[in-house]
Structure 1
Amino acid sequence: MVLDHPGESAMRILALCATALWGMLALAASAQPLTVVTEEYPPYNHLDENRQVVGLSTEVVKEVLRRAKLPYRINLYPWARAYHLAQNQPNVLIYSIGRNSQREAMFQWVDVIAPYNVFLYRLKSRPEVQVQRIDELTRFRVGAVRDDVRAQYLEKIGIPADLVVDDSANAKKLASGRIDMFPIDEIAMAALYRREGMDPNSVEKALALPDLSSGLYMAFSLQTAPDIVERCRTALRDMRRDGTLEKIKAAYLH
C-alpha cells in the first residue's frame, strides 16, 4: 500500500476546499440580484410611458436572465455612468454595448443580442457636408456620446469629437448647426427622432461606418463569477437555436 506524503495530502485538501469555496461563492453571487445597467437608446433600451425599461435588447436580456434563473434589477443611466459601473463593480451586466479591441479585456462578453449598423448622418438641408472617406471628417464638426464605442472609434482614427451625454443632445446640436454630423445606428436614428418630436426625414446618411457595425452585446463586469456568465451564454445560445431571439428581433424590426 502506497501512502500519500503528508504535504501531498495537505495540498489535495486545500485544492478541494478552494473548489468548494468557489462553488459556494458562485452560488451566493447568483442568489444576489444582478445590477443590470443600460442607457436611453431606443428602440434597443429605453423608458416607456410607465417609466419601465423596455426595448428590443431589454426583452432579449430579460429572457436570458429568466432562463438562467438569475434575479436582477435594471437601472437606466447616462452611458458614461453605466460604463464606469460595469468596469468597477462586481455582478454588473451592461447592455447594449459595442465591442472593440479597446474593450475586449475589460468585460466578460456574452454574445450579440441585436444588430448594429452605424452611419454618419447630416442634415438634408446642408448638401455642402460631403464626405467620401473617413479621413475627410477632420474638416467637419462631429458629435459623439462620451465613452461610447463610436466616440472611441473616432478618437482612435484621429477625428476630434464634440462629446455629449446622449444622442438626444447630438440630434439637437445637428438641428441647430452646432455640429455637422454624428454617427448613429440607422434603426436607432429613426426611433430617436420620433421620440424627440423631430422629423427623421430631415437627415440623411453621409457615410457608412462598417468598422462599427458588428452588433450590440451584453457583457459582465470582470468581478462577476464565470458561472453566471456561462449560464447566460448557454441561455442565449438556446434562444438563438429555438428561434426566440429571431422572434424578438422581428417584433421590433419588421
Structure 2
Amino acid sequence: MQIFIAFLLAIVFFSLQAKAKDPKLIWFTEDYPPFNYHVNGNVEGIAINALKTIYRDLNWDFDPKEVMLLPWPRAYHMTLANHNACIFSMTYTEERAKLFQFVGPAMDNHVAIIGHKETDYQLSDLTSLGALKVGVVKNDIGHQLLRQAGVSKESLVFLASGFELVQMLKLKRIDLIAYGDVIARYQFKRAGIDPSHFRIVLPLRSSYLGFACNQGVRKRLIEKMNKALKTIKRREPEIFDPEYFYSKVE
C-alpha cells in the first residue's frame, strides 16, 4: 500500500513539475497573412504553426485561448504593457530590440513603398514623396521606418490593417503604401485584387520576422524558444516558406 501511495505521489509531483515548466505566456497577433490571420474563430498561418511546433518541441502545452488577434497598434501596446506578453509576427529592427526580446529569425520580410504599376512615381528616397499620400498601419514596421526617416505626419494616412491598405490603394484614395512585400501580395489576393497591377516603388528595409516578448519575460524562456526555433528551421525549413504554406491550404 505504501509503495502504491508513493507511486501516486510521484505521478502528482511530476505532473506539477510538467505544468510548472509551461511558460504561461499571453500571445498577441494581428491579421498579417500568410504569417498570421483569422479563420473561423482560429488564428492560422505560418507563424502560428511555427509557434505550435516550438511549444511541441519544448514539451509545453499550447493553449489557443492564450493567442489573441487584435489590431496591430493595440497588440503592440498590450505587449509593452504586460510583463508576460509576446507578439508576432514582428519585423526585427535595432530600435525594437531595445523594447522587446526577440525569438528569431523565423521568416524573411522585405518592407517597401508599393504603388500602382500604371503610375510614374520615381522615388530616389523618402524625401522625394512631395504631396504623395502613403498608407500605413500605426506602429507597423512601415510606419516606424517612415517616421525614423523624418517623413511628416501630413504625408501619412493611418489605416487599421493591411487589408484596408490594399483596398484604399486600389481605389486610389492613397497614392502608396508602406508595408511588407509578401504580406501585401497576399492581402491583394484576399481582397480579390490582382497583385501584378502593383509594383515596389522604393525598397525600405530587408529584415526578418520573429516573435517578440516583453522585457519582463524570463530570459531563460527566450533562450529555450530560440534554440527550439533554430532546430525546427534546420529540420523543417519548408514550413517557413509562404509558397509551401499556401500550396497546402489552397
- TM-score range, shorter-chain basis? 0.7 to 0.9
How far has the Cα of 1:252 moved from its partner? Answer: 2.6
Distance 1:108 1:252 in 2: 27
How far has the Cα of 1:31 moved from its partner? Answer: 3.6
Q: Residue 140 of structure 1 aligns to a residue in which SS? A: coil
Provide, for residues 23-72 of structure 1, a one-character-per-residue CA deviation record: whole Å limited to 9, x for no partner.
Answer: xxx99874463211111011111122x33211112211111122123334
User: Do the aligned partners of 2:93 and 2:207 also contact (CA within 8 Å) in 1?
Assistant: no
Equivalent residue letter for 1:228: L
Provide, for residues 132-160 of structure 1, a one-character-per-residue CA deviation record: whole Å limited to 9, x for no partner.
Answer: 32321244111111011211110111113
How far has the Cα of 1:253 moved from its partner? Answer: 7.2
Equivalent position to 1:110, from 103, 106, 129: 103
Query: Is residue 2:179 matched to residue 1:184?
Result: yes
Gaps of 5+ in 1: 1-25
Distance 1:65 1:36 in 2: 13
Query: Is residue 2:36 matched to residue 1:41?
Result: no
Q: Residue 130 of structure 1 aligns to a residue in which SS? A: coil
Equivalent residue letter for 2:137: V
Query: Is residue 2:117 matched to residue 1:124?
Result: yes
Counterparts in 2 of 1:89 and 1:27: CA distance versus 1, 3 Å? farther
How far has the Cα of 1:116 moved from its partner? Answer: 0.4
Gaps of 5+ in 2: 1-16
How far has the Cα of 1:126 moved from its partner? Answer: 2.5
Distance 2:47 2:159 in 1: 23
Question: TM-score with structure 2 length normalisation?
Answer: 0.81
User: Do the aligned partners of 1:30 and 1:228 also contact (CA within 8 Å) in 2?
Assistant: no
Query: Is residue 2:190 matched to residue 1:198?
Result: no
Give the corresponding residue for 2:202.
207
Distance 1:68 1:74 in 2: 18
How far has the Cα of 1:177 moved from its partner? Answer: 2.0
Query: Is residue 2:224 matched to residue 1:231?
Result: yes
Distance 1:204 1:67 in 2: 40
Q: Residue 94 of structure 2 aligns to a residue in which SS? A: coil
Distance 1:237 1:130 in 2: 40
| Aligned 1:158-177 pairs, distance under 5 A | 158-160=150-152, 161-177=156-172
Q: Residue 116 of structure 1 aligns to a residue in which SS? A: strand
How far has the Cα of 1:207 moved from its partner? Answer: 1.4
Equivalent residue letter for 2:54: V
How far has the Cα of 1:180 moved from its partner? Answer: 0.8
Give the corresponding residue for 1:152.
144
Question: Identity across aligned pairs (percent)?
Answer: 26
Distance 1:157 1:28 in 2: 46
How far has the Cα of 1:186 moved from its partner? Answer: 2.2
Equivalent residue letter for 2:85: V
Distance 1:109 1:154 in 2: 22
User: Do the aligned partners of 2:167 and 2:191 also contact (CA within 8 Å) in 1?
Assistant: no
